Amino acid sequence: MKTILIIRRITRMLIPAFLLIQAGYMNAQPFLETTPSPPLVIAPDHDWRIELEPAGFIYKGFGLQASRNITGNNLINLGIYLTSLTLPDWTKSSMFEHVTDSADVRLGFEFALDLRKKLDLIRNESDPYVGLIAGWEYFDISQNQLPELRITTFLITPFAGWEIYFYREFLYLNPQVRGVLYVGDQSSIDNRPEQLAGIFILPTFSVGVRF
């Protein structure tokens, strides 16, 4: 029942992003109806993507995704996502229960699969998209001079974003909003109160190259 309630919460939080995309499409309908649709622009032989998250370097770690188009029209993309970093203070109280902002919390490692589906609205490479990240990660927590605690968890993360190309459909910016759902978390010390909050809304930003 708790998992169902969390899924409902994350759905409600992501609805505004989808409504914004839909509103933009509806506002463009009169133009689309009076102007012939241009052919879908597909950059030839650019099936691979590599994305780096600047926040990973800022917070003493990394954020990397490598992916590939799996359809001929470049609309569906499948990849591997890896990250490790020290959590900034503003995230700790939202991600955890019984963890203070002054605690030392590090995302030790995350391994996940990333599936991305482009919404073919503008009919070129700079289109919005939706997708899902699913994987596993662990956190190391040190606070109040207590022994270091490790929490491991699976995660399911629906997201919405936009690939904004700015150089020959080769380089792009990638703002994204994620709703992170933690499932099956386990603690290395049973009687410690620290635990994941269950759900976390995370804005992210990455820079990508396609080749």
Which domains are present in the chain? 2-21+47-210 (2.40.160.20)
The Cα angle at residue 181 between residues 56 and 153, in degrees rounded to 5 = 75
Q: Are 187 and 150 in contact (CB under 8 A)?
A: yes
Name the DSSP class of 46. Answer: -
Per-residue pLDDT, 20: 47
| Amino acid letter for position 94 | S
| DSSP 3-state of 35 | coil
Per-residue pLDDT, 9: 54
| Integer angstrom CA distances of residue 134 from 106, 153, 171 | 20, 11, 26
Place of tokens 């109160």: 193
Mean pLDDT, consecutive 10-residue stretches, the chain (211 aa), reads 50 51 50 46 72 97 97 90 96 93 96 94 78 98 94 97 86 96 95 92 95 89
Per-residue pLDDT, 72: 79
Per-residue pLDDT, 40: 45
Distance CA 204, CA 175 (A): 6
The Cα angle at residue 36 between residues 30 and 39, in degrees rounded to 5 = 125
